[in-house]
């Protein structure tokens, strides 16, 4: 689907800088190959003797992680030993990707992230924005205002679509509130933007004239300051909005604090840190330019939107990268995001902003670090300021969630029970569906659609083995399902996979626009998770049915798929860590190597859940306790984020009140929420793309209260007009709040297979809905 949304309206002085959103997933332009200098070494800021060095906090952060995990009394996850890190299977041919890394990009012998927040800076002409939250940053090449531009937008600047409820809203792009530059930078053509030191939560950007003259920008999610470390240049700040006033507020140690008021009445604060032996004055040269009095070997500029004396204690200190620590107990998952710091501040901490789902999950230890500073994010509500070097969070996790049907409906036992009548209905459906042609049905030119078919038959197999206990049906279906999966294990499908060596991952050999952009890393967690679930069920049934040889023969292939989208190890040299899942935002991003004026996006929160659920089922099939704990924790985090930003119960106080009646986000971008899908705007598509597939994991995320609200307000009025596979999804979704109604639909004598989605079986629909009558 090509969006028909209007361009984002901007203030008149900014319109020439507009880059309208690339709403479709078309083929991006390839990055230029012009030669540029290699990345300079990372900065080690000089510390003022009267202030506490933040560099010392790296060891303290490790101690904090240890004490945090110990306090949790759980199992600390060793990310390097959850999955293997061997080379990809030889069955996958190797080749470079047609989208090269930008010249000057340092890979550091590790794979480069494809779906992370800084992706736009690696694609095309590198001028589309990235979102660190609460800021957006981009390489501005306007001849009058060039450098690294910074913007922050408020709630009042949001643009809403027509109607009530509005179908979309976004924040305007391209407002160059602050532009970091230097007097030595003569034109945008003199500069290159180089990135390196890639982590799943951070990267380093360098705006360079040459290898000696450059500005270093740490890119960290949640950073409260936008920090620029100048090297061998004369610093300059510009604003296309215009400076209304610029005043020195105070000096403390080797830091000077300035107040900046822009022509749009927005207030910013600038902190400038210089070495002890250096004197540096700043002057307002004209209504758009602030410049330093001289060049310096090194100095640090930090800007923050707004003002607040509490922030002073963090000035001079900034995050350079993040590390993740996770542990679990029987019912709680703990995770911490630890920020390595540089520079110095009076608190020995820096300023970080937390999203609403963070704040609701913070441990008690975070309360004392909170300050009276709140800023608006683009699409995820109000962010809250903390003076800290670590986020510590705890979430409820579904340790009892396994293969069998599962529910969280209040007052219902989550252990499935079946009456004889229900068992007869399941058996009747299965007796027909086990005769389906899974081998040919799954022979498709799409990892996504073939995976859905394989998973459908795998759930039928599960029902035959564990619910109706029919060995004859198992014997009929299991060999066919093994053969169907074997086509993919042998890489003999219509569009085989290959391992590409530029970014590092398994991609389709199809064209960029085929299979939803799989070849450009779109939707890998959606596609591959269906295959993983099918494999997990086959492995379990094969073992319990007495054969017990399939797992050993196919385990490595399955774990190659897992490593592509969910590898947890930063030290895996073949696949990036957590390609899809974003531990800061709390969910995955589906967009790969495609530029976008609104950033990364995801349109199916439920298939995001399916990706983590696949980890859990594979962990159970392989008896990998660490992987099971990781899956439980990701599901716990998804429960908080999805019910904050994707699914809108009537009590949701995070998202704009105007869009709550939509009940779901539609496509959630980093800068926009659009109540539509990439494949059509029918209401059942928009609502149910956040429900498919209905599995035992669905009820943990899609709470019964929300599902009933959505049914009453959006779906009940249209369900009788829907006569295709979306009807079956809608009615199985009803089992999340009223199992009897759902079961009666599928058991009705008027039921027709036309109501089943290609990835849905009548057997599973009856088994799930009938488990909780």
pLDDT one-digit tens code per residue, 561-572: 999 999 999 999
182: which strand partners? 235
Residue 282 CA to residue 49 CA, distance in Å, equals 23
Q: Would you give the DSSP letter of residue 245? A: E
pLDDT at 24: 36
Identify the band that residue 104 occupies on the pLDDT scale cut at 50, 70 and 90: confident
- 8 Å CB contact between 259 and 245: yes
Residues 167-212 have pLDDT tens digits of: 999 999 999 999 999 999 999 999 999 999 999 999 999 999 999 9
**Separation between Cα atoms, residue 772 and residue 660, nearest integer Å:** 30
What per-residue confidence (pLDDT) applies to 15?
A: 30
- For 20-31, what is the mean pLDDT? 31
Burial (Cβ within 10 Å: 0-12, 13-18, ≥19) of residue 682:
middle
Q: Using an 8 Å Cβ cutoff, are 434 and 511 in contact?
A: no
Over range 215-219, report the average pLDDT: 99
The pLDDT assigned to 244 comes to: 98
31 pLDDT tier (thresholds 50, 70, 90): very low
CATH class of 420-772: mainly alpha
Q: What is the dihedral of CA 679, 684, 690, 693, to 10 degrees?
A: -90
* pLDDT computed for residue 727 by the predictor: 99
pLDDT at 647: 99
Please tell me which residue, 655 or 12, carries the higher pLDDT value.
655
Residue 320 sits at φ, ψ, to 5 deg, of -110, -30
Between 146 and 1, the higher pLDDT residue:
146
Give the model's confidence band at 53: pLDDT under 50 very low, under 70 low, under 90 confident, else very high.
Answer: low
At residue 108, the pLDDT reads 80
DSSP E strands, 97-213: 130-131, 136-142, 145-151, 159-160, 168-170, 178-182, 192-196, 202-208
For 224-244, what is each residue's pLDDT tens digit? 999 999 999 999 999 999 999
CB 297 within 8 A of CB 233: no
755 and 418 Cβ atoms separated by less than 8 Å = no
Residues contacting 690, CB < 8 A, separation 6+: 604, 605, 606, 646, 647, 664, 665
pLDDT at residue 611 in the model: 99
Residue 277 has pLDDT above 70, yes or no: yes
pLDDT value, residue 63: 35
Please report the pLDDT score of residue 411 as a whole number: 96
Instruction: Write the Ramachandran bin of 601: left for phi over 0, alpha for psi from -120 to 50, otherwise beta.
Output: beta
Mean pLDDT is lowest, of 106-115, 122-131, 700-709, for 106-115
CA distance 176 to 190: 20
pLDDT band at 365 (very low <50, low <70, confident <90, very high): very high
Axis crossing angle, helix 447-462 with helix 762-769, rounded to the nearest 10: 60
pTM above 0.85, yes or no: yes
Compute the Cα dihedral for 103, 109, 113, 118 and give only its sign. Answer: negative
Tell me how far CA of residue 121 lies from CA of 98, 117, 199, 207, 333, in angstroms: 17, 9, 14, 12, 33
Mean pLDDT, residues 656-663 = 98
- The backbone region for 177, taken as left when phi is positive above 0, alpha when psi lies in -120 to 50, beta otherwise, is alpha
What is the spatial distance between Cα 627 and Cα 616, in angstroms, rounded to a whole number? 7
Q: What is the mean pLDDT of residues 53-74?
A: 44
Residue-wise DSSP of 63-92? HHHHHHHHHHTSEEP-GGGSS--PPPPTTS
How far apart, in whole angstroms, are the C-alpha atoms of residue 580 and residue 563?
11
pLDDT band for position 261 (cuts 50, 70, 90):
very high
How many residues are there in the chain?
A: 773
Predicted pLDDT of residue 252: 92
Task: Give the pLDDT of residue 107.
Answer: 82
The residues, ordered by sequence, that sit 6+ positions from 545 with a Cβ below 8 Å of its Cβ are 465, 471, 474, 478
Fold match between 12-18+40-93+122-396 and 420-772?
A: no
Q: Are strands 497-500 and 94-95 parallel, antiparallel or unpaired?
A: parallel
Taking the C-alpha atoms of residue 302 and residue 583, their distance in angstroms, rounded to an integer, is 25
Q: Give, for 498, the enclosing helix (H) or strand (E).
A: strand 497-500
State the Cα–Cα distance between residues 617 and 614, nearest whole angstrom.
5
255 contact partners, CB below 8 Å, separation of at least 6:
48, 271, 272, 273, 315, 316
Bridge partners for 147 per DSSP: 140
pLDDT tens profile 448-499 = 999 999 999 999 999 999 999 999 999 999 999 999 999 999 999 999 999 9
How do residues 369-390 score in pLDDT, each as one tens digit? 999 999 999 999 999 999 999 9
Strand order in the sheet with 350-354: 350-354, 382-388, 370-376
Question: Over 60: is that where the pLDDT of 22 sits?
Answer: no
Kindly list the catalytic residues. Answer: 523, 603, 607
- Predicted confidence at residue 73, as pLDDT, reads 57
Asked if 180 and 270 touch (Cβ cutoff 8 Å), the reply is no
Residue/partner pairs of 205-208 with CB below 8 Å, 24 or more apart:
205/118, 205/121, 205/148, 206/39, 206/40, 207/139, 207/147, 207/148, 207/180, 208/36, 208/37, 208/40, 208/104
Q: For residue 301, what are the CA distances in angstroms to 239, 321, 358, 769?
A: 15, 18, 28, 59
21: pLDDT confidence band, cut at 50, 70 and 90?
very low
CB 598 within 8 A of CB 171: no
Average pLDDT, the chain: 92
Is residue 416 a contact partner of residue 743, using CB atoms and an 8 Å limit? no
Residue 36: both structure tokens together:
């540029």
- Which residues, 6 or more positions from 417, have their beta carbon under 8 angstroms from its beta carbon? 771, 772
Domain boundaries, the chain: 12-18+40-93+122-396, 420-772
Neighbours of 7 (CB within 10 A): 12
Beta-carbon contacts of residue 285 (< 8 Å; ≥ 6 apart): 291
Average pLDDT on 284-292 reads 97
Label residue 54 by pLDDT band (50, 70, 90). Answer: low
Q: Outline where 369-489 has alpha helix (H).
A: 420-433, 438-441, 447-462, 471-489
Q: Which fold has domain 12-18+40-93+122-396?
A: Beta-galactosidase; Chain A, domain 5 (2.70.98)
pLDDT recorded at residue 68: 44
Contact 484, 438 (CB under 8 A): yes
The answer to whether residues 672 and 170 touch, using CB atoms and an 8 Å cutoff, is yes
């Amino acid at each position: 689907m090509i969006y028909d949304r209007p361009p984002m309206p901007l203030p008149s002085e900014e319109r020439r800088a507009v880059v309208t959103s690339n709403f479709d997933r078309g083929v991006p332009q390839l990055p230029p190959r012009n030669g540029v200098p290699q990345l300079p070494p990372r900065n080690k800021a000089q510390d003022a003797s009267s202030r506490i060095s933040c560099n010392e906090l790296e060891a303290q952060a490790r101690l904090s992680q240890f004490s945090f995990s110990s306090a949790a009394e759980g199992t600390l996850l060793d990310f390097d030993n959850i999955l293997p890190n061997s080379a990809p299977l030889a069955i996958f041919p190797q080749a470079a990707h047609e989208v090269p890394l930008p010249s000057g990009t340092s890979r550091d012998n590790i794979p480069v992230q494809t779906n992370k927040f800084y992706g736009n800076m690696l694609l095309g002409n590198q001028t589309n924005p990235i979102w660190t939250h609460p800021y957006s940053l981009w390489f501005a090449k306007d001849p009058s205002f060039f450098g690294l531009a910074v913007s922050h937008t408020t709630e009042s600047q949001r643009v809403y679509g027509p109607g009530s409820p509005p179908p979309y809203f976004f924040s305007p792009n391209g407002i160059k509130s602050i532009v970091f530059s230097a007097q030595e930078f003569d034109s945008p053509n003199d500069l290159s933007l180089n990135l390196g030191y890639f982590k799943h939560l951070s990267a380093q950007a360098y705006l360079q004239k040459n290898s000696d003259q450059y500005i270093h920008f740490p890119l960290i999610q949640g950073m409260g300051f936008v920090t620029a470390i100048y090297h061998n240049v004369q610093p300059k700040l510009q604003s296309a909005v215009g400076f209304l006033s610029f005043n020195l507020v105070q000096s403390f140690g080797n830091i000077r604090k300035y107040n900046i008021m822009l022509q749009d009445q927005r207030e910013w604060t600038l902190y400038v840190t210089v070495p002890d032996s250096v004197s540096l004055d700043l002057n307002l040269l004209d209504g758009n330019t602030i410049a330093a009095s001289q060049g310096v070997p090194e100095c640090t500029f930090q800007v923050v939107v707004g003002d607040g004396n509490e922030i002073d204690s963090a000035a001079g200190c900034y995050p350079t990268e993040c590390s993740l620590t996770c542990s679990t107990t029987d019912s709680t998952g703990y995770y911490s995001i630890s920020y390595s710091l540089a520079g110095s501040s009076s608190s020995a901490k820096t300023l970080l902003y937390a999203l609403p789902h963070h704040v609701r999950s913070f441990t008690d230890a975070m309360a004392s670090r909170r300050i009276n500073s709140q800023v608006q994010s683009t699409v995820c509500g109000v962010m809250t300021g903390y003076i800290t070097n670590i986020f510590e969070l705890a979430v409820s996790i579904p340790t009892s969630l396994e293969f069998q049907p599962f529910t969280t409906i209040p007052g219902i036992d989550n252990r499935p029970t079946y009456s004889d009548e229900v068992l007869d209905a399941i058996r009747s459906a299965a007796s027909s569906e086990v005769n389906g042609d899974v081998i040919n049905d799954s022979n498709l030119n799409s990892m996504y659609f073939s995976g859905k078919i394989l998973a459908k038959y795998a759930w039928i197999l599960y029902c035959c083995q564990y619910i109706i206990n029919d060995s004859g049906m198992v014997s009929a279906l299991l060999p066919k399902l093994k053969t169907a999966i074997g086509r993919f294990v042998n890489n003999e499908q219509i569009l085989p996979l290959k391992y590409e060596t530029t970014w590092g991952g398994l991609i389709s050999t199809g064209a960029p626009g085929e299979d939803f952009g799989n070849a450009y890393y779109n939707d890998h967690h959606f596609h591959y998770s269906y295959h993983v679930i099918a494999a997990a069920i086959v492995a379990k049934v094969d073992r319990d049915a007495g054969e017990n040889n399939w797992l050993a023969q196919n385990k490595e292939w399955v774990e190659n798929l897992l490593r592509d989208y969910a590898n947890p190890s930063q030290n895996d040299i073949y696949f990036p860590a957590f390609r899809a899942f974003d531990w800061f935002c709390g969910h995955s991003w589906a967009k790969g190597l495609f530029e976008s004026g609104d950033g990364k996006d995801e349109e199916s929160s439920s298939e995001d859940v399916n990706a983590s659920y696949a980890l859990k089922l594979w962990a159970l099939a392989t008896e990998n306790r660490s992987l099971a704990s990781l899956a439980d924790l990701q599901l716990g985090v998804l429960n908080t984020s999805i019910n904050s930003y994707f699914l809108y119960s009537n009590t949701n106080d995070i998202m704009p009140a105007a869009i709550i009646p939509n009940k779901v986000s539609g496509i959630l971008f980093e800068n926009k929420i659009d109540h539509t899908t990439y494949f059509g705007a029918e209401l059942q598509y928009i609502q149910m793309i956040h429900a498919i597939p209905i599995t035992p994991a669905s009820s943990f995320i899609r709470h019964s209260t929300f599902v009933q609200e959505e049914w009453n307000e959006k779906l009940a009025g249209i369900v009788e007009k829907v006569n295709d596979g979306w009807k079956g999804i809608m009615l199985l979704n009803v089992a999340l709040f009223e199992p009897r109604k759902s079961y009666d639909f599928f058991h009705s004598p008027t039921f027709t297979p036309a109501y089943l989605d290609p990835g849905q079986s009548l057997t599973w629909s009856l088994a799930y809905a009938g488990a909780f009558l």
